[in-house]
Amino acid sequence: MNKREWIRDMAVQRIERLFELAEKWHSTHPERSNRCVALARRIAMKYRVRIPKNLRRRFCRKCNSYFIFGKNARVRLKKKRVVVECLNCGFKRRYPYDRK
């Protein structure tokens, strides 16, 4: 493993840890939780790594709010897509899905 791969691997581990902390702190310190998401996004951009697939839909891309579905995010199923609306800023994100 060369140095670049090692650095990118460490960045992904740090991103995953920040999302764990964001989930843990969301009920008691939502502003700290949002800060963790913002830091994770900055790390991903700086080291040019993708946020892991299971975490990509867990935050608002506009205000960096960590989603707890039902509390600060609304999920709706439309004809051929899922619409996730952030209740903090009103940003709507649409994802395709297949009913099969």
pTM, two decimals, is: 0.89
Question: pLDDT tens digits, residue range 21-36?
Answer: 999 999 999 999 999 9
Which CATH number characterizes residue 78's domain?
1.20.5.420
Q: Domain of 25?
A: 3-96
The pLDDT, as a whole number, for residue 100 is 66
**φ/ψ of residue 29, rounded to 5:** -135, 80
According to DSSP, the β-strands at 81-86 and 92-96 are: antiparallel
Count of the separate structural domains present in the chain: 1
Question: pLDDT tens digits, residue range 49-96?
Answer: 999 999 999 999 999 999 998 899 999 998 889 999 999 999 999 999
